């Protein structure tokens, strides 16, 4: 498991105009924040990136 500390209890809605994505904020290291966008499996943007 990762050492990252999750900063919020629930995913944040949004992050992609093409699907029902959710975002999760993690602290990668002290003072270093990472926002991860989790796309919907039917997302056309994600499908296009996966085949590139």
Give the global pTM.
Answer: 0.66
Mean local confidence (pLDDT), 14-24: 93
Beta carbons of 40 and 17 less than 8 angstroms apart = no
Eight-state DSSP code of residue 11: P
Which helix (H) or strand (E) is 49 found in, with range?
helix 44-51
What pLDDT band is residue 31 in, cutting at 50, 70 and 90?
A: confident
Q: What is the CA radius of gyration of the chain?
A: 13
What pLDDT band is residue 26 in, cutting at 50, 70 and 90?
A: confident
Give the number of other Cβ atoms within 10 Å of residue 25's Cβ.
15
Please check the confidence at residue 29 and state whether its pLDDT lies above 70: yes
Bridge partners, 29 (sequence order): 32
**Domain assignment of residue 14, given as a range:** 5-51
Split into its structural domains, the chain has a count of 1
């Amino acid at each position: 498991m990762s050492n990252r500390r999750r900063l919020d209890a629930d995913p944040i809605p949004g992050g992609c105009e093409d699907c029902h994505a959710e975002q999760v904020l993690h602290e990668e290291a002290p003072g270093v924040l990472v926002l991860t966008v989790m796309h919907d499996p039917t997302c056309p943007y994600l499908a296009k990136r996966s085949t590139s």
